[in-house]
Structure 1
Amino acid sequence: MCGIWALFGSDECLSVQCTSAMKIAHRGPDAFRFENVNGFTNCCFGFHRLAIVDQLYGMQPLRIKKFPFLWLCYNGEIYNHHTLKKKFEFDYQTKVDGEILLHLYDRFGIQKMASLLDGVFAFILLDTANRKVFLGRDTYGVRPLFKLLTDDGFLAVCSEAKGLIDITHAMATPANIVPFLPGYFEAFDLKKNGKVQSIQMEQFHCCTQEPAHAIYDTMERLPTRFDEETVKSNIRSLFENAVRKRLMAHRRIGCLLSGGLDSSLVAATLVKLAKEEKLQYPIQTFSIGSEDSPDIIAARKVAAHIGSEHHEVNFTAEEGIQAVEEVIFHLETYDITTIRASVGMYLVSKYIREKTDSVVIFSGEGSDELTQGYIYFHKAPTPKAAAEDSVRLMKELYLFDVLRADRTTAAHGLELRVPFLDHRFTAYYLSLPEEMRIPKHGVEKHLLRESFKGLNLMPDEILWRRKEAFSDGMMSVKKSWYTCLQEHLESMVCVTMATVLPIIQWLINDQFSSNERSSSSSERH
């Protein structure tokens, strides 16, 4: 997890513009670099680094001797970089996973480069030899990317919108700051004056398709039958593979644990694989809630079962309310459900940063959308309708749950990893017959639960624990976080109205009196 920022064709002083890059410093607390592009004095890169892989040579923009004309700024992790390096016999200069982008681009071009990446990423790639700029973002938008493009070809790019809002540029009409679409790349011509022109916007991967990089996966090909036992075995194999590949890190790994099915599956599998890979430290798990909250109690049972080093963060409504303004700043959204669900994740991430040495944090985002985990799926009119809505939710993840998970962890310099959004795992699950994926016997995510039944990964009561909103599960059953927040907002409205109403009444009375005086004056004349 890092922060990337770039300008192409700026008319303003770059030393002034670059102050905007400092607004995303929280994304990379380990180091910062600001660099102009040779031959283009009005183009530059800014980079905030969180060192996860190759702590010595990981600064960006990344440039290597073999390709002096390529400049790369990227945020993310490429899990199959070793596999691709070996397959195509690339000669590496660093140990950085992102170096694979330079070799793939030089060998195959931008479209194939993007399609072969197994990971989460947002990138800005500059080719000065061919005067091209490329932007790209992973399938589900796990890593954020925003752009601002003016009518005259000035392009500004940043990991978060806050790094673009104060960018100055003379323009006839104001330019919008927009999120870059997940699963796409965009190509620009770079003119001699540093300005750009968009020439291609193309999708390189869709969640319903098996990714192109699957043919180079180290995991064996799966049986293609759709009988229940084969499907459950495939789900287990793909999920375990998704967790294993995400162990790639030089920093300590931890896991958020709410005590629900999704985070418990991630934590249990993570602890199991960490032992197999002989990691030199125990996996830390983290839960947040009030002392008697359902989540705290359930997470405690899971942690005891899997043997993690467990941390509990006490949550109070007062502390949550105080954090709301900071949360909104980092989220860059006023979506009320996202904000409410983000407060707990923001506070537990703050605890992790301040009290522990875990930096790479696993989480269970994406499962509800993929496996039809929301309660309303019980009311889907047909399996086909449920399947279609599942795909819709997957495509919109970058606007809601993925946004929440990235921003609340990045706010405290942590790196998020989400195995449920693994390309091969999601593509396989969405390819299953629609009837297999719907809730059954009154239980949502029935197929996922059945796939892990009898393995003793977690207590059975957790495996079959019903869906509970994160914002409700962290508080006492007597009073939810939703209710606490609602009461606080109502009190604020009451106080505001008590202050404002007399003023409004005074204005009305004064206007009425003024009208009376005007009428009286008119009558006298």
Structure 2
Amino acid sequence: MCGIWAIFGTEDCVSAQCYSCLQIAHRGPDSFRIENIPQWSNCAFGFHRLAIVDGVYGMQPLRLHSLPQLWLCYNGELYNHKVVGDAFDFKYETFMDGESALHLYQKGGAEFTAQHLDGVFAMVLLDTERQQVHLLRDSFGVRPMFRAITESGVLAVCSEAKGLKDIVYKNGSRPTIKPFPPGHYASYQIMKNGTVELIEEKRFHSIGKTPIYKTLVLPDPMSDVYKNIQDLLTAAVRKRLMSERRIGCMLSGGLDSSLISALVMKLAKEEGFTYPIQTFATGMVGSPDIVAAKQVADHIGSEHHEVLFTPEEGLACLDKLIFHLETYDITTIRASVGMYLLSKYISESTDSIVIFSGEGADEVAQGYLYFHKAPSPEEADTEARRLLNDLHFFDVLRADRTTAANGLELRVPFLDHRFTSYVLSLPAEERRPQKGVEKHLLRKSFDGMDLLPHDILWRRKEAFSDGVSSQKKAWFEILQEHVESQVSDEDFAAAPLAYPFNPPTSKEAYYYRQIFERHFPGQSAWIPYYWMPKWSKTSDPSARTLEHYKEESS
């Protein structure tokens, strides 16, 4: 989980803009470098490193003796770097997985590179020979990247928007900052005057379609579906064990994080890890997640940590949390509090750096409770694909920012290409909730293996933002009570005029929006809408307000 920053087209790039790069120092606490390009005074890279692989040669921007015209600054992990190296007979100079991207680019260009990477990545690649800059981001946007462009031809890129918001050019203008779209690459030409012009921007992969790289081989859809899902998820976890730093798991006691924790534990034993795998659970007094996580930890034999927090501690971190998240979405903020406080504990109290979690399963496997109300399997399938395409605005954003804010690297096996491509290729009817149980296909695939306790494998979905609190008083109710004393009726009534884009529809939304606008004024377009469940009468995103939850609880 590193931090990248780059700027092209302004001679003030190092002297005046370096401070902006320091805004993302939390993403890479191990080392820092800012470097301008010798040929051009108007280009520079900044990099904050969290060292995971190749402690000797892992600093960036990366250059090779054999390809001195190429500069690479990236945040990510490329799990098939050895495979593509063997397939194309690349001669590697380092142990860095990112080196494979430079060889792929030299062989076939930017689109060819993106299409042959199995992993998560946000990349800036400079070709001084062709005088071009290329941006690439993984299909789900697991690794973040923002882009700022001015009409005068200045391009700036950063892992987080906060690293671009203070950039000011000579005429006092500020660029428009937007998330770079996942699954896309963009190529720019550096002109004689040093400014940049867009050559092309193109999607290189659509979610649900099988990527073209040769290493992706999916099982025959007519074979044993349950066994295929077992094998593909296990392989997704195994490839993500690539690390020279200690590995741990976030464990809520729900199906998703429990499956991942159990598989990490199983594979770590097979791989001969020399240290115990740590699992981490968080919640308030009375949290059902804390109880369930302990049951899982006892079953799999992990070194388990419970991190309790009080409502006061949760409320106290909201301002700093929204600054790190760069969002005002209600669901995202509610769910981020526990994850942020847990990440803070892991960073300060343990030596685990690479952290596995269960993000993505609810979108791939239709795990949200509102899927029970889907009018048809086809509409449920359409909704699942929409959620996957928008993950980088919500759950993936939350997972990245809460961990990166504390110098951790998150890995999400459920968003593996082979796993997602296979599951989405199955008939829509098989993937919808069955017999009143969401994610039935995923649960059935691991049933009878003793990987998890039976009641955990079949435990009903409990949203992380709800599971951290007790059944007697939900976290969203605590937040709403607090906000009621902070926002007047008059201010809330004026919200549509104050914030015409995505106007707040509750005092809680208004409260978060105020904090967001204080940190990032006028940038509300960074998210397109508020996350809300479909096919439901509720006006609140909490799963505990849904009809299905109430029916099952009664």
Q: TM-score scaled to structure 2, two decimals?
A: 0.87
- State the Cα distance separating 1:495 from its structure 2 match: 11
Q: Which amino acid aligns with 1:235?
A: I
Distance across 2 between alignment mates of 1:17 and 1:445: 48
1:221 Cα deviation from its structure 2 partner? 5.1
* Pick aligned residue for 1:386 from 380, 386, 390: 380
For residues 140-166 of structure 1, give each alpha carbon's deviation from its aligned partner in whole angstroms, at most 9, with x where no partner exists.
Answer: 000000000111110010000000001
Q: Aligned partners of 2:174, 2:93: CA distance in 1, in Å?
A: 43
Q: Matched residue of 2:304: which SS?
A: strand
Relative to its length, the structure with more helix (as a share) is 1
Q: Which residue of 2 aligns with 1:216?
A: 215
Distance change >3 Å, CA 301–CA 154, structure 1 → 2:
same
**Deviation at 1:231?**
0.8
User: Are 1:453 and 2:447 counterparts?
Assistant: yes
Q: Which residue pairs with 1:374 in the alignment? A: 368
How many angstroms apart in 2 are the aligned matches of 1:194 and 1:157?
Answer: 16
Q: Secondary structure at the match of 2:68?
A: strand
Choose from 317, 321, 327 the match for 2:311: 317
Distance 2:222 2:171 in 1: 58
Q: Which residue of 2 aligns with 1:440?
A: 434
Equivalence map 1:37-116=2 (5 Å): 37-116=37-116
Q: How does 1:125-204 map to 2 (within 5 A)?
A: 125-170=125-170, 174-204=174-204
| Alignment deviations for residues 25-56 of structure 1 (CA, whole Å, 9 cap, x no partner) | 00000000010112110110000000000011
Asked if the contact 1:12–1:168 (Cα under 8 Å) also holds between the matched residues in 2, the reply is: no
Inter-partner Cα distance in structure 2 for 1:428 and 1:124 = 30
Residues 481-517 of structure 1: CA deviation (Å, up to 9, x unaligned): 11111111112225998xxxxxxxxxxxxxxxxxxxx
Q: Deviations over 1:123-180 (max 9, x none)?
A: 0000000011000100000000000011111001000000000101146975310000
Secondary structure of the 2:306 match is: strand
Letter aligned with residue 206 of structure 1: S
Equivalent residues of 1:405, 1:416 under 8 A apart? yes
Q: Distance in 1 between matches of 2:36 and 2:170?
A: 21
Q: Does 1:338 align with 2:335?
A: no
* TM-fit CA distance, 1:86: 1.3
How far apart are residue 205 of structure 1 and its match? 1.0
Q: How many angstroms apart in 2 are the aligned matches of 1:363 and 1:170?
A: 44
RMSD between aligned residues: 1.5
Read off the aligned partner of 1:127 and give its amino acid letter.
D
Counterpart in the other structure of 1:468: 462
Q: Indicate if the aligned counterparts of 2:124 and 2:136 stay in contact, CA closer than 8 A.
A: yes
1:121 is paired with a residue whose SS is strand
Question: What is the one-letter code of the residue matched to 1:492?
Answer: Q
- What CA distance in whole angstroms lies between the structure 1 residues aligned with 2:13 and 2:123? 24
The equivalent residue for 2:267 is 273
Please say if residues 4 and 48 of structure 2, whose CA atoms lie closer than 8 Å, have aligned partners that are also in contact.
yes
Asked if 1:9 is matched to 2:9, the reply is yes
Query: What does residue range 229-248 of structure 1 map to in structure 2 within 5 Å?
Result: 230-248=224-242
CA distance in 1, matches of 2:446, 2:308: 31
Identity of aligned residues (%): 60
Query: Letter of the aligned partner of 2:236 in structure 1?
Result: A
**Residue ranges of structure 1 left out of the alignment (5+ in a row):** 498-525
Q: Which residue of 346, 352, 361 maps to 1:358?
A: 352
Deviations 1:360-387 (A, max 9, x none): 0000000001101111111111111100
Instruction: For residue 288 of structure 1, report the CA deviation from its aligned partner.
Output: 0.2
Aligned residue for 1:39, secondary structure, equals: coil
Q: Is the 8 A contact 1:124 1:134 kept in 2?
A: yes
Task: Give 1:483's aligned amino acid.
Answer: E
Q: CA deviation at 1:192?
A: 2.4
**1:167 corresponds to which letter in structure 2?**
I
Structure 1 residue 70 displacement after superposition: 0.3
Residue of structure 1 equivalent to 2:410: 416
Q: Give the Cα separation in 1 of the matches to 2:175 and 2:47.
A: 23
**How far apart, in 2, do the equivalents of 1:143 and 1:314 lie?**
29
| Structure 1 outlier segments of 4+, above 3 Å | 170-174, 494-497
State the distance in 2 between where 1:203 and 1:343 align: 33
Kindly indicate whether the alpha-carbon contact (under 8 Å) linking 1:256 and 1:286 is maintained by their aligned counterparts in 2: yes
- Give, as a single letter, the amino acid of the residue that structure 1 aligns with 2:238: R
Task: State the Cα deviation string for residues 277-299 of structure 1 (Å, max 9, x = none).
Answer: 01111110000012321000000
Aligned residues: 492
Indicate conservation of the 8 Å contact 1:11/1:170, yes or no: no
- CA distance in structure 2 between the partners assigned to 1:488 and 1:407 by the alignment: 24
Check conservation: 1:259, 1:302, Cα contact below 8 A.
Answer: yes
Q: In 1, distance between residues paired with 2:101 and 2:287? A: 46
8 A Cα contact 2:9 2:196, kept in partner: yes
1:11–1:169 Cα contact (<8 Å) kept? no
Q: CA offsets per residue over residues 75-115 of structure 1, 9 Å max, x none?
A: 00000001111111111111000000110100111111111
User: One-letter code of the match for 1:338?
Assistant: T
Alignment partner, residue 254 of structure 1? 248
Structure 2 gaps, min length 5:
492-554
Residue aligned with 2:123, SS: strand
TM-score, structure 1 as length reference: 0.92
Is the contact between residue 249 and residue 261 of structure 2 (CA under 8 Å) also seen in structure 1?
Answer: yes
Deviations 1:258-314 (A, max 9, x none): 000000000001100000001111110000012321000000000000000000001
Which has the larger displacement, 171-180 or 90-99? 171-180
* Counterpart for residue 404 of structure 1: 398
How far apart in 1 are the matches of 2:264 and 2:62?
A: 31
Corresponding position of 1:512: none
Change (3 A) 1:89 1:151: same
Counterpart CA distance in 2 for 1:451 and 1:221 is 17
Distance 1:115 1:170 in 2: 38
Structure 1 residue matching 2:24: 3-state secondary structure: helix
Contact 1:58-1:96 within 8 A present in 2 as well = yes
In structure 1, distance between residues paired with 2:151 and 2:294: 55
Change (3 A) 1:479 1:101: same
SS of equivalent residue, structure 1 residue 436: helix
* Inter-partner Cα distance in structure 2 for 1:287 and 1:186: 40
1:322 and 1:482 map into 2 onto residues whose CA distance is 15
Following the alignment from structure 1 to structure 2, what is the Cα–Cα distance between the partners of residues 239 and 476?
31
SS in 2 for 1:124: strand
What amino acid is aligned across from residue 58 of structure 2 in structure 1? Answer: G
Q: Distance in 2 between matches of 1:495 and 1:69?
A: 60
Tell me what 1:481 maps to: 475
Deviates more, 1:233-242 or 1:85-94: 85-94
Shift of 1:13: 5.6
Q: Which moved more, 1:185-194 or 1:112-121?
A: 185-194
Which residue of structure 2 aligns with residue 514 of structure 1? none
1:429 is displaced (CA, Å) by: 0.5
1:400-450, CA deviations, whole angstroms, 9 ceiling, x for partnerless residues? 000000000000000000000001100111110011001011111011000
Q: Over alpha carbons, which structure has the higher Rg? A: 1
* 1: CA distance, partners of 2:293 / 2:132: 50
